[in-house]
Amino acid sequence: MLRAQECLQRNGLVGLLADRAPRAERVLEVPFLGQPAPLPTGPHLLAAVLGAPVMLAFGIWRGPRHYEVRFEPFAEPLPPGRAGREAAIAERVRRYAARLEALCREHPYNWFNFYDFWRRDAA
């Protein structure tokens, strides 16, 4: 967290995977492609604690050696303090899952994931 804070203070970017959680990290089960999927709350909590906005980044394969890279504004910084933080983070995790699902449906042959987040013992 300290390294992320230092990076943000230098106007840098911090990249985190928000579709998988290391063992023992808090997750929230949200609808994703027709089933509940456990997505981590940690990246959203880190952004909240550091007062950082959240951008989404996607790389969409368009052909051999050709990717379209998209950056999308996703969420403004949360107000400081803990009041309402948990509910706001849960809402962000649900919105993230919905956005990821929309891109998966828009480009169905573009997505692969070797991390089985539907498997109960994978998280």
What average pLDDT does the structure give for the chain? Answer: 87
Tell me which of 8 and 32 has the higher pLDDT. 32
What are the beta bridge partners of residue 35? 32
Transcribe 106-123 into DSSP letters.
HSTTS---SS-TTSTTT-
Residue 66 has pLDDT above 60, yes or no: yes
CA gap 31, 103 in Å, rounded: 15
Looking at 10-76, list the stretches that DSSP marks H as alpha helix, in order from N- to C-terminal side. 42-50
Mean per-residue pLDDT, 42-49: 92
Q: pTM for the whole thing?
A: 0.84
Transcribe 77-99 into DSSP letters.
PPPSSSTTHHHHHHHHHHHHHHH
CA gap 61, 47 in Å, rounded: 28
Q: Band of the pLDDT at 115, cuts 50, 70, 90?
A: low
